[in-house]
Amino acid sequence: MSHLSFFWLNPEHNKLIKGIESEFCNLVKTSIQNNQLTLPQIPTVLTRLQQACLLKDITVREVANIVIDDPALTAKIIRTSNAVLLVVTPIDLFSI
């Protein structure tokens, strides 16, 4: 569970963190064994996109046609693309 941030704990609290991880893992295992854990299905768009990206001759247009079927994924891609475009890189005017 490296994604959890325990910034308020001192490094010597490693045992506490391991205990929390162990307890969480046990809860997940028990839930799976008792059929109490329900995971969401993987969107069909994602599986189609993954299969398409394995093809050597896939075009950007074909990928776009797959992605456009999922508005949330499309929005995320556009947001990420725009963020890259808006990154300002400093230019040293004296070296030009």
**Per-residue model confidence as pLDDT tens for the chain (96 residues):** 455 555 566 666 677 777 778 888 888 889 988 988 887 888 899 999 999 989 999 999 999 999 999 999 899 988 888 887 777 666 666 665
Q: Tell me how far CA of residue 20 lies from CA of 6, 7, 8, 59, in angstroms.
A: 11, 15, 15, 46
Instruction: Give the separation between CA 76 and CA 45, rounded to whole angstroms.
Output: 14
Give the sign of the dihedral formed by CA 25, CA 27, CA 28, CA 34: positive
Taking each helix axis from N to C terminus, what angle separates 71-85 and 60-67, rounded to the nearest 10 degrees?
A: 130
| Domain boundaries, given as residue ranges, for the chain | 1-39, 44-85
Supply the pTM of this predicted model: 0.47
